[in-house]
A and B are shown apart, each in its own frame.
Chain A
Amino acid sequence: AQTVTQSQPEMSVQEAETVTLSCTYDTSESDYYLFWYKQPPSRQMILVIRQEAYKQQNATENRFSVNFQKAAKSFSLKISDSQLGDAAMYFCAYSYFGNEKLTFGTGTRLTIIP
């Protein structure tokens, strides 16, 4: 069974600094997708970034980038120049080609210190 593990329940970072959120996953599939979702206090699920496993290049979206280590089954999220609006719960999620559902990790609550 596919599992997604987020080992950091809480993280904090000073405004304007950089923070990295960790995620590991377990799968026997070769073709899959990884996602980071942000959930602010409004509880809406907002896609931050996605990565296709067949792509070696790490995905980036403005201040957000990932470090995808396929052999290690690791998928960390780096947030640069942290802003107050980045404060939220962050979920790592996985899906594989031919499967329907997203499997989520337990989340990391990120606090931004002004």
Chain B
Amino acid sequence: EPEVTQTPSHQVTQMGQEVILRCVPISNHLYFYWYRQILGQKVEFLVSFYNNEISEKSEIFDDQFSVERPDGSNFTLKIRSTKLEDSAMYFCASRDSNYGYTFGSGTRLTVV
């Protein structure tokens, strides 16, 4: 069964550093997403991406965040200057035209 692949599975970074979280969506999906989940809390929408541009973003997705699809397969989330409160599980997801969403295994980001 097709999978969404996320790397790395766990990243530790110092406050103020830039991080890039990587995702390979399912190849025939056209809609891509980033969500985050702070430990013990609900899953929160960050951003959606379609046709090489952001289609919607949440209030959380401020100027510190950016997304990119640098080639035909990768989809990345960049956090420019990490803060302690950015520590969370970050999930990439992609969906097909029939609203079938598939999530990756997540990247656990720890900011120290």
Contacts and interface: CB of A to CB of B under 8 A. Distances in A.
Contacts of B42: 91, 104-107
A43 B106 contact: yes
Contacts of B35: 102
A95 B31 contact: no
- Chain B's interface size range is 20 to 34
Contacts of B31: 100
Contacts of B99: 33, 50, 95, 97
Contact of B101 (A102, A106, A107): A102
A56 interface: no
B45 A103 contact: yes
A104 B43 contact: yes
Interface string B71-112: 000000000000000000101010000011111011010000
B105 A35 contact: no
B57 to A, nearest CB: 10
Interface of B: 31, 33, 35, 37, 41-45, 48, 50, 55-56, 58, 89, 91, 93, 99-103, 105-106, 108
Interface of A: 33, 35, 37, 42-47, 50, 91, 93, 95, 97, 99-107
